[in-house]
A and B are shown apart, each in its own frame.
Chain A
Amino acid sequence: MAGITSYGAYIPLIRLARAEIAKAWGGWGLPGEKAVANYDEDAVTMAVAAAIDCTKGFDLNQIDGIYFASTSAPYIEKQCSALIAQVLNLDNRVSTMDFGGSLRSGTNALRAALDAVNSGSANNILVCAADVRPAYPKGDKEFSFGDGAAAIMVGKDNIIAEIEGVFTQYNELMDIWRSDKERYVNSWESTFIYSKGYAPVIAKTVAGALEKYNLKPEEFKAVAFNSPNSRQLGSAVRMAGFDAKTQVNDILNPSVGDTGSAMAMMALVAELEEAGAGDRLLMANYGDGCDVLIIKGTDKLADITDRRGIKKHLASKQMISNYNRYLLWRGEVNTEPPRRVPLERPSPAALLRDNKGGLGFFGVKCTSCKTVQYPAQRICMKCRSKDLFEDYCFADKLGKVAAFSHDSLGVSLDPPITGATIDFEGGGRIKLDMTDRDPKAVSVGMSVEMTFRKLRYVNGVYDYWWKCRPQRS
Chain B
Amino acid sequence: MGSIKDRVAIIGMGCTNFGNSWDKSPNDLIVEAAYEAFEDAGMNVNDMEAAWFSSFFCPPGLTGQPLAKALKLPYIPVTRVENACASGTDALRNASYAVAAGIYDVALVLGVEKLKDNGLMGLPDAEMWLNMWGSHDNTYRCTTASGPAQYAQMATSYFAKHNIDPREGKEILARIEVNNHRNGALTPKAQFRREVTLDTVMKAPIIAAPLGLYDCCGISDGAAAAIIVPAEKAKNYRNDPIYIKAMQIAVGPCNGIMNPEYDYAHVEETVKAAKAAYAEAGITNPREQVSLANVHDCFSITQLVTMEDLLFSERGKAGDDVKSGFFSLEGGLPVNTDGGLKCFGHPIGASGIRMMYEMYTQLQGKAGKRQIKDPKIGVTHNLGGIPGSASVSVGIVSKDLG
A residues with CB within 8 A of B: 338-341, 343-344, 346-347, 349-351, 353-354, 357-358, 373-375, 381-382, 402-412, 416-421, 423-424, 427-433, 439, 444-445, 455-456, 463, 465
Contacts and interface: CB of A to CB of B under 8 A. Distances in A.
A427 B260 contact: yes
Contacts of A357: 135-136
B255 A381 contact: yes
Contacts of A465: 134-135, 139, 141-142
27 contacts: A341-B124, A341-B127, A346-B139, A347-B138, A403-B264, A404-B153, A405-B145, A405-B155, A405-B209, A406-B206, A406-B209, A408-B207, A410-B126, A411-B144, A416-B208, A417-B145, A420-B143, A421-B264, A428-B258, A429-B259, A429-B262, A431-B133, A433-B143, A433-B145, A444-B156, A455-B141, A463-B141
A427 B255 CA distance: 14
A429 B262 CA distance: 10
Contacts of A439: 209
B295 interface: no
A124 B257 CA distance: 39
5 A-B pairs with the lowest CB-CB distances in the bound complex, closest first: A419-B145, A405-B152, A407-B149, A350-B138, A403-B157
A347 B121 contact: no
A422 to B, nearest CB: 9
Contact of B126 (A340, A416, A419): A340
Contacts of B388: 421
A410 B257 contact: no
Q: How large is the interface on B (under 10, 10 to 19, 20 to 34, 35 or more residues)?
A: 35 or more
B146 interface: yes
Contacts of B9: none
A418 B149 CA distance: 9
B144 A402 contact: no
Nearest to B205: A408
Given A382-B259, A403-B160, A433-B143, 15 more contacts: A346-B140, A346-B141, A354-B136, A373-B259, A381-B254, A405-B208, A405-B209, A408-B207, A409-B208, A419-B143, A419-B144, A421-B388, A424-B260, A430-B258, A439-B209
B121 to A, nearest CB: 5
Contacts of A423: 260
A410 B154 contact: no
A327 to B, nearest CB: 21
Contacts of B124: 341
B140 A463 contact: yes
A416 B379 CA distance: 37
Contact of B144 (A339, A346, A351, A456): A456
Interface of B: 119-122, 124-127, 133-146, 148-150, 152-157, 160, 205-211, 253-255, 257-260, 262, 264, 388
A409 B122 contact: yes
Nearest to A379: B253
B139 A407 contact: no
A428 B388 CA distance: 14
Contacts of B121: 338-340, 409
B139 A410 contact: no
Nearest to B260: A423
Contact of B260 (A406, A428, A433, A455): A428
Contacts of A416: 206, 208-209
B148 A407 contact: yes
Contacts of A375: 134-136
A121 B143 CA distance: 42
A464 B150 CA distance: 21
B139 A350 contact: yes
B256 to A, nearest CB: 8
B201 to A, nearest CB: 17
A403 B122 CA distance: 22
Contacts of A411: 144
Given A346-B139, A353-B136, A358-B135, A408 B206 contact: yes
Given A343-B127, A421-B153, A408 B258 contact: no
Nearest to A361: B135
A467 to B, nearest CB: 9
Nearest to A400: B260
B140 A409 contact: no
Contact of B139 (A339, A351, A429): A351
Nearest to A429: B260
A407 B145 contact: yes
Contacts of B264: 402-403, 421
Contact of A402 (B140, B142, B260): B260
B146 A344 contact: no
Given A350-B138, A407-B148, A431-B133, A381 B253 contact: yes
B139 A381 contact: no
A343 B142 CA distance: 13
Contacts of B209: 405-408, 416, 439
Given A346-B138, A409-B208, A410-B149, A421 B257 contact: yes
